[in-house]
Structure 1
Amino acid sequence: MRFENKTVIVTGGGTGIGKATAKRFFEEGANVIINGRRENVLKETALEIDPTGKKVLYVAGDISKKETSENLVKKAVEVFGGVDVLVNNTGKFNPTPFLDHTEDDVQSYLDTIVKGTFYPSQAVIPEMKKRGGGAIVNTGSMWAIQAVEATPSSAYSAAMAGRHALTRNLAVEFAGDHIRVNAVAPAVVETPIYNTFMSEEQVAEVLPTFNAFHPIGRNGTPDDVANAVLFLADDSSSWITGIIMPLDGGVTARLR
Protein backbone atom coordinates (compact mmCIF):
# COMPACT_ATOMS: atom_id res chain seq x y z
CA MET A 1 0.00 0.00 0.00
CA ARG A 2 1.30 3.42 -1.03
CA PHE A 3 0.97 5.17 2.32
CA GLU A 4 1.72 2.37 4.77
CA ASN A 5 3.07 3.84 8.04
CA LYS A 6 2.49 7.39 6.78
CA THR A 7 0.47 9.94 8.73
CA VAL A 8 -1.89 12.30 6.93
CA ILE A 9 -3.84 15.34 8.14
CA VAL A 10 -6.93 16.31 6.14
CA THR A 11 -8.68 19.55 7.02
CA GLY A 12 -12.32 19.88 6.05
CA GLY A 13 -12.31 16.11 6.34
CA GLY A 14 -15.83 15.41 7.57
CA THR A 15 -17.72 15.48 4.26
CA GLY A 16 -17.34 15.71 0.48
CA ILE A 17 -13.85 15.88 -0.98
CA GLY A 18 -12.16 15.76 2.41
CA LYS A 19 -14.03 12.63 3.47
CA ALA A 20 -13.30 10.88 0.16
CA THR A 21 -9.64 11.85 0.46
CA ALA A 22 -9.34 10.61 4.04
CA LYS A 23 -10.96 7.32 3.01
CA ARG A 24 -8.57 6.82 0.09
CA PHE A 25 -5.52 7.49 2.26
CA PHE A 26 -6.80 5.01 4.84
CA GLU A 27 -7.35 2.40 2.12
CA GLU A 28 -3.74 2.90 1.10
CA GLY A 29 -2.49 2.20 4.61
CA ALA A 30 -2.18 5.67 6.14
CA ASN A 31 -2.96 6.90 9.60
CA VAL A 32 -5.35 9.84 9.15
CA ILE A 33 -6.43 12.76 11.29
CA ILE A 34 -9.39 14.79 10.03
CA ASN A 35 -10.44 18.28 11.08
CA GLY A 36 -13.60 20.35 10.84
CA ARG A 37 -15.89 22.45 13.02
CA ARG A 38 -18.62 19.88 13.68
CA GLU A 39 -17.43 17.21 16.11
CA ASN A 40 -20.45 14.98 15.55
CA VAL A 41 -19.81 14.86 11.79
CA LEU A 42 -16.10 14.17 12.28
CA LYS A 43 -16.77 11.38 14.75
CA GLU A 44 -19.27 9.75 12.41
CA THR A 45 -16.92 10.01 9.44
CA ALA A 46 -13.92 8.67 11.35
CA LEU A 47 -15.83 5.60 12.54
CA GLU A 48 -17.38 5.05 9.10
CA ILE A 49 -13.93 4.93 7.51
CA ASP A 50 -12.24 3.00 10.33
CA PRO A 51 -14.65 1.24 12.70
CA THR A 52 -11.71 0.22 14.92
CA GLY A 53 -11.10 3.86 15.84
CA LYS A 54 -7.35 3.29 15.74
CA LYS A 55 -6.14 4.69 12.42
CA VAL A 56 -8.60 7.50 11.67
CA LEU A 57 -8.88 10.14 14.39
CA TYR A 58 -10.30 13.64 14.48
CA VAL A 59 -9.65 17.05 16.02
CA ALA A 60 -12.58 19.46 15.96
CA GLY A 61 -11.90 23.19 15.81
CA ASP A 62 -11.89 26.41 13.82
CA ILE A 63 -9.03 26.18 11.32
CA SER A 64 -8.73 29.99 11.20
CA LYS A 65 -7.36 29.78 14.75
CA LYS A 66 -3.68 28.93 14.95
CA GLU A 67 -4.21 26.75 18.01
CA THR A 68 -6.43 24.38 16.02
CA SER A 69 -3.57 23.59 13.66
CA GLU A 70 -1.19 23.22 16.59
CA ASN A 71 -3.60 20.75 18.20
CA LEU A 72 -3.87 18.76 14.97
CA VAL A 73 -0.10 18.41 14.71
CA LYS A 74 0.26 17.69 18.42
CA LYS A 75 -2.19 14.78 18.14
CA ALA A 76 -0.46 13.44 15.04
CA VAL A 77 2.91 13.47 16.79
CA GLU A 78 1.63 12.03 20.07
CA VAL A 79 -0.38 9.20 18.52
CA PHE A 80 1.42 8.43 15.27
CA GLY A 81 4.90 9.94 15.71
CA GLY A 82 4.82 12.73 13.13
CA VAL A 83 3.25 14.05 9.94
CA ASP A 84 4.04 13.08 6.34
CA VAL A 85 1.18 14.61 4.34
CA LEU A 86 -1.08 17.62 4.85
CA VAL A 87 -4.20 18.20 2.75
CA ASN A 88 -5.55 21.74 3.15
CA ASN A 89 -9.12 21.21 2.05
CA THR A 90 -11.22 23.76 3.94
CA GLY A 91 -13.58 25.90 1.91
CA LYS A 92 -16.91 27.64 1.59
CA PHE A 93 -18.77 28.54 -1.57
CA ASN A 94 -21.85 30.67 -1.97
CA PRO A 95 -22.13 32.57 -5.27
CA THR A 96 -22.78 36.23 -4.42
CA PRO A 97 -22.74 39.37 -6.56
CA PHE A 98 -19.65 41.46 -5.85
CA LEU A 99 -21.58 44.49 -4.53
CA ASP A 100 -23.55 42.29 -2.12
CA HIS A 101 -20.52 40.98 -0.22
CA THR A 102 -20.35 42.22 3.38
CA GLU A 103 -17.23 42.79 5.45
CA ASP A 104 -17.99 39.72 7.56
CA ASP A 105 -18.62 37.68 4.44
CA VAL A 106 -15.24 38.56 2.94
CA GLN A 107 -13.48 37.86 6.23
CA SER A 108 -15.07 34.43 6.47
CA TYR A 109 -13.60 33.42 3.10
CA LEU A 110 -10.16 34.64 4.16
CA ASP A 111 -10.45 32.81 7.48
CA THR A 112 -11.62 29.53 6.00
CA ILE A 113 -9.39 29.40 2.94
CA VAL A 114 -6.31 31.61 3.38
CA LYS A 115 -5.79 31.18 7.13
CA GLY A 116 -6.95 27.60 6.63
CA THR A 117 -3.89 27.06 4.45
CA PHE A 118 -1.39 29.29 6.24
CA TYR A 119 -1.72 28.01 9.81
CA PRO A 120 -1.88 24.25 9.15
CA SER A 121 1.13 24.49 6.84
CA GLN A 122 3.04 26.57 9.37
CA ALA A 123 2.34 23.97 12.08
CA VAL A 124 3.15 20.93 9.93
CA ILE A 125 6.34 21.97 8.14
CA PRO A 126 8.66 21.77 11.19
CA GLU A 127 7.49 18.20 11.79
CA MET A 128 7.96 17.32 8.12
CA LYS A 129 11.51 18.62 8.33
CA LYS A 130 12.18 16.17 11.16
CA ARG A 131 11.01 13.33 8.87
CA GLY A 132 13.27 14.49 6.05
CA GLY A 133 10.44 15.85 3.91
CA GLY A 134 6.77 15.53 3.13
CA ALA A 135 3.96 16.66 0.88
CA ILE A 136 1.31 19.36 1.16
CA VAL A 137 -1.64 19.24 -1.23
CA ASN A 138 -4.08 22.14 -1.28
CA THR A 139 -7.61 22.02 -2.63
CA GLY A 140 -7.76 25.14 -4.78
CA SER A 141 -10.38 26.04 -7.36
CA MET A 142 -10.99 26.59 -11.04
CA TRP A 143 -12.73 29.83 -9.97
CA ALA A 144 -9.33 31.20 -8.94
CA ILE A 145 -8.17 30.65 -12.53
CA GLN A 146 -11.25 31.47 -14.55
CA ALA A 147 -14.30 33.60 -13.73
CA VAL A 148 -17.67 31.95 -14.34
CA GLU A 149 -20.46 34.36 -15.22
CA ALA A 150 -23.23 32.08 -13.95
CA THR A 151 -21.69 31.92 -10.46
CA PRO A 152 -20.31 35.33 -9.37
CA SER A 153 -17.81 34.42 -6.66
CA SER A 154 -15.31 37.25 -6.20
CA ALA A 155 -14.57 36.72 -2.50
CA TYR A 156 -14.27 32.96 -2.91
CA SER A 157 -12.10 33.34 -6.01
CA ALA A 158 -9.80 35.88 -4.33
CA ALA A 159 -9.32 33.63 -1.31
CA MET A 160 -8.63 30.60 -3.49
CA ALA A 161 -6.14 32.65 -5.51
CA GLY A 162 -4.42 33.25 -2.17
CA ARG A 163 -4.30 29.50 -1.60
CA HIS A 164 -2.79 29.07 -5.06
CA ALA A 165 -0.19 31.75 -4.30
CA LEU A 166 0.74 30.06 -1.01
CA THR A 167 1.14 26.81 -2.93
CA ARG A 168 3.78 28.30 -5.21
CA ASN A 169 5.55 30.27 -2.50
CA LEU A 170 5.83 27.36 -0.08
CA ALA A 171 6.92 25.04 -2.88
CA VAL A 172 9.90 27.24 -3.66
CA GLU A 173 10.77 28.10 -0.05
CA PHE A 174 10.79 24.51 1.20
CA ALA A 175 11.98 22.58 -1.84
CA GLY A 176 15.40 22.33 -0.21
CA ASP A 177 13.79 20.56 2.73
CA HIS A 178 12.23 17.97 0.40
CA ILE A 179 8.74 19.25 1.13
CA ARG A 180 6.62 19.34 -2.00
CA VAL A 181 3.62 21.67 -2.19
CA ASN A 182 0.99 21.38 -4.91
CA ALA A 183 -2.68 22.15 -5.44
CA VAL A 184 -5.63 20.79 -7.37
CA ALA A 185 -8.15 23.19 -8.91
CA PRO A 186 -11.54 21.50 -9.35
CA ALA A 187 -14.46 22.79 -11.39
CA VAL A 188 -17.97 21.66 -10.41
CA VAL A 189 -17.70 18.71 -8.04
CA GLU A 190 -20.87 17.20 -6.63
CA THR A 191 -20.39 17.65 -2.88
CA PRO A 192 -22.61 18.74 0.05
CA ILE A 193 -21.24 22.29 -0.23
CA TYR A 194 -24.09 23.12 -2.61
CA ASN A 195 -26.59 22.19 0.07
CA THR A 196 -25.33 25.11 2.16
CA PHE A 197 -27.11 27.58 -0.13
CA MET A 198 -29.63 25.46 -2.05
CA SER A 199 -32.36 23.06 -0.99
CA GLU A 200 -32.15 19.35 -1.85
CA GLU A 201 -34.68 19.93 -4.62
CA GLN A 202 -32.67 22.82 -6.07
CA VAL A 203 -29.43 20.83 -5.96
CA ALA A 204 -31.09 17.93 -7.78
CA GLU A 205 -32.37 20.33 -10.43
CA VAL A 206 -29.38 22.66 -10.84
CA LEU A 207 -26.27 20.46 -10.62
CA PRO A 208 -27.08 18.31 -13.68
CA THR A 209 -27.28 21.48 -15.78
CA PHE A 210 -23.52 21.93 -15.23
CA ASN A 211 -22.60 18.58 -16.79
CA ALA A 212 -22.38 20.19 -20.24
CA PHE A 213 -20.20 22.97 -18.80
CA HIS A 214 -17.37 20.43 -18.78
CA PRO A 215 -16.11 19.26 -22.19
CA ILE A 216 -15.76 15.75 -20.78
CA GLY A 217 -19.53 15.79 -20.29
CA ARG A 218 -20.01 15.41 -16.55
CA ASN A 219 -19.48 17.05 -13.19
CA GLY A 220 -16.67 15.83 -10.99
CA THR A 221 -16.97 13.53 -7.99
CA PRO A 222 -15.14 13.65 -4.64
CA ASP A 223 -13.27 10.51 -5.69
CA ASP A 224 -12.01 12.27 -8.84
CA VAL A 225 -10.37 14.87 -6.62
CA ALA A 226 -9.20 12.42 -3.97
CA ASN A 227 -7.37 10.32 -6.55
CA ALA A 228 -5.50 13.38 -7.82
CA VAL A 229 -4.62 14.43 -4.26
CA LEU A 230 -3.15 10.99 -3.56
CA PHE A 231 -1.09 11.16 -6.74
CA LEU A 232 0.41 14.51 -5.72
CA ALA A 233 1.11 13.22 -2.20
CA ASP A 234 2.74 10.02 -3.42
CA ASP A 235 6.45 9.50 -4.11
CA SER A 236 5.56 8.74 -7.72
CA SER A 237 5.20 12.52 -8.17
CA SER A 238 8.50 13.27 -6.43
CA TRP A 239 9.64 15.70 -9.16
CA ILE A 240 6.43 17.72 -9.08
CA THR A 241 6.13 20.78 -6.88
CA GLY A 242 4.52 24.19 -7.15
CA ILE A 243 1.82 23.22 -9.64
CA ILE A 244 -1.86 24.07 -9.72
CA MET A 245 -3.44 21.02 -11.37
CA PRO A 246 -6.77 21.70 -13.12
CA LEU A 247 -9.38 19.05 -12.33
CA ASP A 248 -12.13 20.45 -14.46
CA GLY A 249 -13.16 18.03 -17.19
CA GLY A 250 -11.48 20.30 -19.75
CA VAL A 251 -13.13 23.63 -18.83
CA THR A 252 -10.00 25.75 -18.64
CA ALA A 253 -8.54 24.12 -21.76
CA ARG A 254 -11.58 25.38 -23.67
CA LEU A 255 -11.55 28.87 -22.20
CA ARG A 256 -7.90 29.65 -22.71
Structure 2
Amino acid sequence: MSQQRFLDQVFVITGGGTGIGKDIARTVLNEGGKVVINGRRAEVLAETARELDPSGERVRFFAGSIALVETARSLIGLAKTAFGRVDVLVNNAGVFKPTPFLEHDEAEFAHYLDIILKGTFFASQAAIGEMVKQGTGAVVNVGSMWADHAVGATPSSAYSAAKAGVHALTRNLAIEFAARGIRVNAVAPAVVETPVYDTFLSPEQKREVLPGFNQFHPLGRNGQPADVTAAVLFLASQDAGWITGAVLPVDGGVTAGRG
Protein backbone atom coordinates (compact mmCIF):
# COMPACT_ATOMS: atom_id res chain seq x y z
CA MET A 1 0.00 0.00 0.00
CA SER A 2 1.33 3.46 -0.88
CA GLN A 3 2.09 5.84 1.94
CA GLN A 4 -0.43 8.66 2.24
CA ARG A 5 1.90 11.67 2.53
CA PHE A 6 -0.58 13.89 0.71
CA LEU A 7 -3.91 12.67 2.04
CA ASP A 8 -6.60 15.11 0.85
CA GLN A 9 -4.02 17.73 -0.18
CA VAL A 10 -4.74 19.63 -3.38
CA PHE A 11 -1.97 19.97 -5.96
CA VAL A 12 -2.06 22.23 -9.00
CA ILE A 13 0.42 21.12 -11.68
CA THR A 14 1.21 23.07 -14.84
CA GLY A 15 2.47 21.03 -17.75
CA GLY A 16 0.57 18.17 -16.14
CA GLY A 17 -0.55 16.21 -19.18
CA THR A 18 2.69 14.41 -20.03
CA GLY A 19 6.20 13.68 -18.82
CA ILE A 20 7.30 14.94 -15.41
CA GLY A 21 4.01 16.69 -14.65
CA LYS A 22 1.99 13.58 -15.36
CA ASP A 23 4.30 11.47 -13.22
CA ILE A 24 3.96 13.94 -10.34
CA ALA A 25 0.16 13.84 -10.66
CA ARG A 26 0.13 10.04 -10.65
CA THR A 27 2.28 9.86 -7.53
CA VAL A 28 0.23 12.48 -5.68
CA LEU A 29 -2.94 10.50 -6.39
CA ASN A 30 -1.28 7.28 -5.25
CA GLU A 31 -0.37 9.03 -2.02
CA GLY A 32 -3.88 10.24 -1.24
CA GLY A 33 -3.98 13.69 -2.85
CA LYS A 34 -6.13 15.48 -5.40
CA VAL A 35 -4.79 17.16 -8.53
CA VAL A 36 -5.66 19.85 -11.02
CA ILE A 37 -3.53 19.64 -14.16
CA ASN A 38 -2.96 22.24 -16.84
CA GLY A 39 -1.61 22.16 -20.37
CA ARG A 40 -2.40 23.54 -23.80
CA ARG A 41 -4.10 20.46 -25.28
CA ALA A 42 -7.50 19.57 -23.85
CA GLU A 43 -7.52 16.12 -25.44
CA VAL A 44 -4.20 15.17 -23.84
CA LEU A 45 -5.32 16.43 -20.44
CA ALA A 46 -8.62 14.57 -20.68
CA GLU A 47 -6.84 11.33 -21.58
CA THR A 48 -4.37 11.77 -18.72
CA ALA A 49 -7.16 12.50 -16.26
CA ARG A 50 -9.06 9.36 -17.30
CA GLU A 51 -5.91 7.26 -17.06
CA LEU A 52 -4.89 8.53 -13.63
CA ASP A 53 -8.34 8.52 -12.03
CA PRO A 54 -11.08 6.78 -14.02
CA SER A 55 -13.62 7.79 -11.36
CA GLY A 56 -12.92 11.45 -12.05
CA GLU A 57 -13.34 12.21 -8.36
CA ARG A 58 -9.84 13.42 -7.57
CA VAL A 59 -8.66 14.94 -10.88
CA ARG A 60 -9.66 18.07 -12.74
CA PHE A 61 -8.01 19.70 -15.74
CA PHE A 62 -7.91 23.14 -17.31
CA ALA A 63 -6.67 23.61 -20.87
CA GLY A 64 -4.97 26.87 -21.76
CA SER A 65 -1.58 28.49 -22.23
CA ILE A 66 0.04 29.31 -18.92
CA ALA A 67 1.58 32.30 -20.69
CA LEU A 68 -1.80 33.98 -20.23
CA VAL A 69 -2.45 35.47 -16.81
CA GLU A 70 -6.12 34.51 -17.07
CA THR A 71 -5.14 30.84 -17.43
CA ALA A 72 -3.27 30.97 -14.13
CA ARG A 73 -6.19 32.60 -12.36
CA SER A 74 -8.72 30.19 -13.85
CA LEU A 75 -6.56 27.21 -12.91
CA ILE A 76 -6.36 28.21 -9.26
CA GLY A 77 -10.06 29.11 -9.33
CA LEU A 78 -10.88 25.61 -10.56
CA ALA A 79 -8.90 24.04 -7.73
CA LYS A 80 -10.78 26.17 -5.21
CA THR A 81 -14.17 25.40 -6.74
CA ALA A 82 -13.56 21.67 -7.14
CA PHE A 83 -11.59 20.88 -3.99
CA GLY A 84 -11.86 23.92 -1.73
CA ARG A 85 -8.19 24.84 -1.35
CA VAL A 86 -4.71 24.90 -2.89
CA ASP A 87 -1.97 23.20 -0.89
CA VAL A 88 0.82 22.84 -3.46
CA LEU A 89 1.58 24.48 -6.78
CA VAL A 90 4.08 22.77 -9.07
CA ASN A 91 5.24 25.08 -11.87
CA ASN A 92 6.36 22.53 -14.42
CA ALA A 93 5.27 23.93 -17.80
CA GLY A 94 8.13 24.65 -20.16
CA VAL A 95 9.57 24.62 -23.66
CA PHE A 96 13.03 23.52 -24.75
CA LYS A 97 14.76 23.45 -28.11
CA PRO A 98 18.51 23.98 -28.35
CA THR A 99 19.03 26.96 -30.65
CA PRO A 100 22.20 28.93 -31.46
CA PHE A 101 22.09 32.44 -29.99
CA LEU A 102 22.29 34.24 -33.34
CA GLU A 103 19.30 32.28 -34.63
CA HIS A 104 16.85 33.37 -31.92
CA ASP A 105 14.29 35.96 -33.00
CA GLU A 106 12.19 38.23 -30.81
CA ALA A 107 9.06 36.10 -30.97
CA GLU A 108 10.89 32.94 -29.93
CA PHE A 109 12.64 34.73 -27.07
CA ALA A 110 9.31 36.09 -25.87
CA HIS A 111 7.82 32.59 -26.06
CA TYR A 112 10.44 31.22 -23.65
CA LEU A 113 9.91 34.07 -21.23
CA ASP A 114 6.11 33.84 -21.45
CA ILE A 115 5.81 30.11 -20.83
CA ILE A 116 8.63 29.59 -18.35
CA LEU A 117 9.02 32.83 -16.40
CA LYS A 118 5.77 34.74 -16.82
CA GLY A 119 3.78 31.53 -16.42
CA THR A 120 5.58 30.66 -13.20
CA PHE A 121 5.24 34.24 -11.90
CA PHE A 122 1.50 34.59 -12.33
CA ALA A 123 0.55 31.01 -11.45
CA SER A 124 2.52 31.53 -8.23
CA GLN A 125 0.80 34.87 -7.63
CA ALA A 126 -2.65 33.30 -7.99
CA ALA A 127 -1.80 30.29 -5.83
CA ILE A 128 0.03 32.20 -3.10
CA GLY A 129 -2.92 34.58 -2.83
CA GLU A 130 -5.00 31.60 -1.71
CA MET A 131 -2.23 30.11 0.43
CA VAL A 132 -1.93 33.37 2.38
CA LYS A 133 -5.62 33.07 3.31
CA GLN A 134 -5.04 29.47 4.41
CA GLY A 135 -1.85 30.30 6.32
CA THR A 136 0.02 27.44 4.70
CA GLY A 137 1.15 26.14 1.32
CA ALA A 138 4.10 25.19 -0.83
CA VAL A 139 5.32 26.05 -4.30
CA VAL A 140 7.84 23.90 -6.15
CA ASN A 141 9.26 25.27 -9.38
CA VAL A 142 10.92 23.11 -12.02
CA GLY A 143 14.04 25.09 -12.86
CA SER A 144 17.02 23.76 -14.76
CA MET A 145 20.71 22.98 -14.59
CA TRP A 146 20.96 25.20 -17.71
CA ALA A 147 19.99 28.20 -15.57
CA ASP A 148 23.43 28.08 -13.96
CA HIS A 149 25.61 26.10 -16.37
CA ALA A 150 26.02 26.49 -20.12
CA VAL A 151 26.48 23.32 -22.18
CA GLY A 152 28.20 23.67 -25.53
CA ALA A 153 26.35 20.74 -27.08
CA THR A 154 22.97 22.31 -26.32
CA PRO A 155 23.03 26.07 -26.96
CA SER A 156 20.10 27.34 -24.91
CA SER A 157 20.51 31.05 -24.22
CA ALA A 158 16.81 32.00 -24.18
CA TYR A 159 15.79 28.90 -22.23
CA SER A 160 18.62 29.40 -19.74
CA ALA A 161 17.75 33.07 -19.21
CA ALA A 162 14.12 32.20 -18.52
CA LYS A 163 15.00 29.39 -16.11
CA ALA A 164 17.52 31.63 -14.31
CA GLY A 165 14.61 33.98 -13.72
CA VAL A 166 12.68 31.09 -12.17
CA HIS A 167 15.56 30.39 -9.78
CA ALA A 168 15.70 34.06 -8.75
CA LEU A 169 11.93 34.20 -8.35
CA THR A 170 12.06 31.11 -6.13
CA ARG A 171 14.44 32.77 -3.67
CA ASN A 172 12.54 36.06 -3.63
CA LEU A 173 9.18 34.45 -2.95
CA ALA A 174 10.69 32.20 -0.28
CA ILE A 175 11.87 35.23 1.68
CA GLU A 176 8.75 37.31 1.09
CA PHE A 177 6.31 34.63 2.27
CA ALA A 178 8.27 32.64 4.86
CA ALA A 179 6.55 34.47 7.71
CA ARG A 180 3.17 33.58 6.19
CA GLY A 181 3.83 29.83 6.40
CA ILE A 182 4.45 29.38 2.67
CA ARG A 183 7.55 27.58 1.41
CA VAL A 184 8.93 28.09 -2.12
CA ASN A 185 11.63 25.83 -3.56
CA ALA A 186 12.85 24.59 -6.93
CA VAL A 187 14.53 21.62 -8.54
CA ALA A 188 17.17 21.96 -11.24
CA PRO A 189 17.26 18.87 -13.49
CA ALA A 190 19.86 17.97 -16.10
CA VAL A 191 18.89 15.73 -19.07
CA VAL A 192 15.61 14.00 -18.29
CA GLU A 193 14.03 11.73 -20.89
CA THR A 194 10.58 13.24 -21.44
CA PRO A 195 8.30 13.96 -24.43
CA VAL A 196 9.85 17.46 -24.73
CA TYR A 197 12.45 15.90 -27.02
CA ASP A 198 9.67 14.83 -29.39
CA THR A 199 9.16 18.51 -30.22
CA PHE A 200 12.46 18.76 -32.09
CA LEU A 201 13.78 15.20 -32.56
CA SER A 202 12.31 12.36 -34.60
CA PRO A 203 11.97 8.95 -32.89
CA GLU A 204 15.08 7.81 -34.75
CA GLN A 205 17.03 10.89 -33.64
CA LYS A 206 15.95 10.37 -30.04
CA ARG A 207 17.21 6.79 -30.09
CA GLU A 208 20.50 8.01 -31.50
CA VAL A 209 21.03 11.24 -29.55
CA LEU A 210 19.73 10.72 -26.00
CA PRO A 211 21.94 7.72 -25.07
CA GLY A 212 24.92 9.92 -25.90
CA PHE A 213 24.09 12.05 -22.86
CA ASN A 214 24.21 9.18 -20.36
CA GLN A 215 27.91 9.68 -19.66
CA PHE A 216 27.42 13.44 -19.40
CA HIS A 217 26.08 12.63 -15.92
CA PRO A 218 28.62 11.34 -13.35
CA LEU A 219 26.08 8.75 -12.21
CA GLY A 220 26.17 7.34 -15.74
CA ARG A 221 22.59 7.76 -16.94
CA ASN A 222 20.03 10.29 -18.05
CA GLY A 223 17.25 11.20 -15.66
CA GLN A 224 13.75 9.78 -15.79
CA PRO A 225 10.54 11.58 -14.77
CA ALA A 226 10.41 9.58 -11.53
CA ASP A 227 13.77 11.03 -10.48
CA VAL A 228 12.38 14.55 -10.66
CA THR A 229 9.05 13.55 -9.14
CA ALA A 230 10.80 12.20 -6.04
CA ALA A 231 12.64 15.48 -5.51
CA VAL A 232 9.61 17.68 -6.20
CA LEU A 233 7.41 15.75 -3.80
CA PHE A 234 10.07 15.75 -1.10
CA LEU A 235 10.14 19.56 -1.29
CA ALA A 236 6.33 19.67 -1.34
CA SER A 237 6.02 17.44 1.71
CA GLN A 238 6.40 18.14 5.41
CA ASP A 239 9.65 16.18 5.28
CA ALA A 240 11.00 19.47 3.89
CA GLY A 241 9.15 21.61 6.41
CA TRP A 242 12.32 23.54 7.31
CA ILE A 243 13.47 24.10 3.74
CA THR A 244 12.60 27.16 1.71
CA GLY A 245 14.43 29.14 -0.98
CA ALA A 246 16.42 26.08 -2.07
CA VAL A 247 17.27 25.15 -5.65
CA LEU A 248 17.96 21.43 -5.49
CA PRO A 249 20.16 19.91 -8.23
CA VAL A 250 18.54 16.76 -9.63
CA ASP A 251 21.19 16.14 -12.24
CA GLY A 252 23.04 12.88 -11.77
CA GLY A 253 25.98 14.80 -10.32
CA VAL A 254 26.63 17.13 -13.25
CA THR A 255 26.90 20.34 -11.25
CA ALA A 256 29.12 18.74 -8.59
CA GLY A 257 31.99 18.55 -11.07
CA ARG A 258 33.58 16.17 -13.53
CA GLY A 259 34.85 12.67 -12.89
Q: Does the pair score TM above 0.5?
A: yes
Question: Which of 248, 251, 254 in structure 1 is aligned with 2:254?
Answer: 251
Distance in 1 between residues matched to 2:78 and 2:93, nearest whole Å: 19
Q: Which residue of 2 aligns with 1:228?
A: 231
2:59 alignment counterpart? 56
Paired residue type of 2:211: P
**Are residue 91 (structure 1) and residue 94 (structure 2) matched?**
yes
Moved over 2 A (4+): none
Structure 1 residue identity aligned to 2:16: G
Letter in 2 for 1:176: A
How does 1:129-148 map onto structure 2 within 5 Å? 129-148=132-151
2:118 alignment partner in structure 1: 115
Pairwise CA distance, 1:255:
5.3
Check if 1:150 corresponds to 2:153: yes
Aligned to 2:198: 195
- CA offset digits 1:30-62 (Å, max 9, x no partner): 110000000000000111111111101100011
Q: Partner letter of residue 216 of structure 2?
A: F
Q: Secondary structure of the equivalent of 1:184? A: strand
Give the Cα separation in 2 of the matches to 1:125 and 1:111: 19
CA distance in 2 between counterparts of 1:137 and 1:67 reads 21
Q: 1:65 corresponds to which residue? A: 68
Taking structure 2 as the reference length, the TM-score comes to 0.97
1:212 is aligned to 215
The aligned amino acid for 1:130 is K
One-letter amino acid of the structure 2 residue matched with residue 131 of structure 1: Q
| Total equivalences in the alignment | 256
How far apart, in 2, do the equivalents of 1:70 and 1:255 lie? 43
Residue 106 of structure 1 pairs with residue 73 of structure 2 = no
The Cα of 1:132 is off from its aligned counterpart by: 1.5
* AA partner of residue 213 (structure 2): F
After superposition, the C-alpha distances for 1:187-242 in whole angstroms (9 at most, x for unaligned) are 00000101100100000110001000000000000010011100000011000000
| Distance (whole Å) between structure 1 residues aligned to residue 76 and residue 218 of structure 2 | 40
Residue of structure 2 in register with 1:13 after alignment: 16
Partners of 1:227 and 1:130 in 2: how far apart? Answer: 28
1-side partners of 2:7 and 2:49: how far apart? 18
Percent identical: 62
Structure 1 alignment gaps of length 5 or more: none
* 3-state DSSP of counterpart to 2:186: strand
Gaps of 5+ in 2: none
Mapped partners of 1:171, 1:147: distance in 2: 26
Instruction: Tell me if structure 1 keeps the 8 A contact 2:69–2:119.
Output: no
| Post-superposition CA distance 1:115-147 (Å, at most 9, x none) | 110110010112111222110000000000110
